[in-house]
Amino acid sequence: MPLLGDGLIKRRGGGALLASLVSFWELGEASGTRNDSFGTNHLTSNNTVGQATGKVGNAAQFNAASTRYLSITDNASLSAGNIDLTLCAWVYLDSVTGGSAGRTIFSKYTTSGNQREHSLLYNLTDTSPNNRFTWTVSSNGTATTTLTATTFGAASISTWYFVVVWHDSVADTLNIQINNGTVDSVSYSSGIFDSTSAFAIGALFAPTSPFYLMDGRIDQVGFWKRVLNSTERTFLYNSGNGRSYAEVAAY
């Protein structure tokens, strides 16, 4: 007999995907604050982030022309360092043209004051090759290393993509994977700088004004301070159907 409170979650592995989870944002709210389903890193809505049909339930809808993004001030739980970490998100691009050089998915990155940490975006013209998902990290707040999802190639508008990035501090690699496909990796032994930048979904900052704004939808964003294994990433992808937080907690 299971102990009181063990229940289904314990029998299926004790909530294995909750291990070292920092935050999980389902982003299903119609407006206002977007709540952290696991922790306390609730996100402020700037300039009225909207709602649209998501990969799982509803998603946050961003409009670049209206400078809409979500954010929370820097805190220790969201800070990196020379540690293992994994971040993931479902992404739906409404446009890949216009004045922006990229569409930011999430970031903890300010371009001035030596406060670059990391940023995931869909690159339009910022770095070569163009039209690729790219993850940029800094070891010292200034110098950067960019990893591009070259194997996957260009994305299309009006299509959902599951993007996972991770830093393996033991293997000394940066990694990116799209739709549970081939992993692109690069050797990287410098760690990720712990900046004072805000954590944002849908924008990064230069120095305080948001830019590289998202134009589209973002859903089911997770942040772990460990490396998720391939079985866990496959579970989250769920054959392209995604997972709710309840399913993540019960894994």
Reduced DSSP (H G I as helix, E B as strand, rest coil) percent helix, strand, coil of the chain, to 5: 10, 40, 50
pLDDT band at 113 (very low <50, low <70, confident <90, very high): confident
Average pLDDT over residues 154-171: 98
Boundaries of domain holding 19 = 7-250
Mean pLDDT along residues 202-206: 94
Mean of pLDDT over the chain: 93
What region, left, alpha or beta, does residue 57 occupy, with left being phi > 0 and alpha being psi -120 to 50 degrees? left
Residue in the block written with tokens 């004045």: 99
Do the domain assignments include residue 2? no
CATH code assigned at 155: 2.60.120.200
> What's the pLDDT score for residue 14?
55
Taking 70 as the threshold, does the pLDDT of residue 147 lie above it?
yes
Instruction: For residues 206-232, give the mean pLDDT.
Output: 95
pLDDT above 60: residue 47? yes
**CB of 90 within 8 A of CB of 55?**
yes
- Looking at the structure of the chain, the number of domains it has is 1
Q: Residues of the chain with pLDDT > 70: what percent?
A: 94
Per cent of the chain over pLDDT 90 is 87
CA distances for 154 relative to 3, 55, 134, angstroms: 50, 20, 11
pLDDT in the model for residue 198: 97
Q: How far apart are the C-alpha atoms of 199 and 118, rounded to whole Å?
A: 10
Tokens of 173: 């690699």
Q: Which string of DSSP letters, residue by residue, matches 102-134?
A: EEEEEEEEETTTTEEEEEEEEESSSSSSPSEEE
Is residue 86's pLDDT more than 50? yes
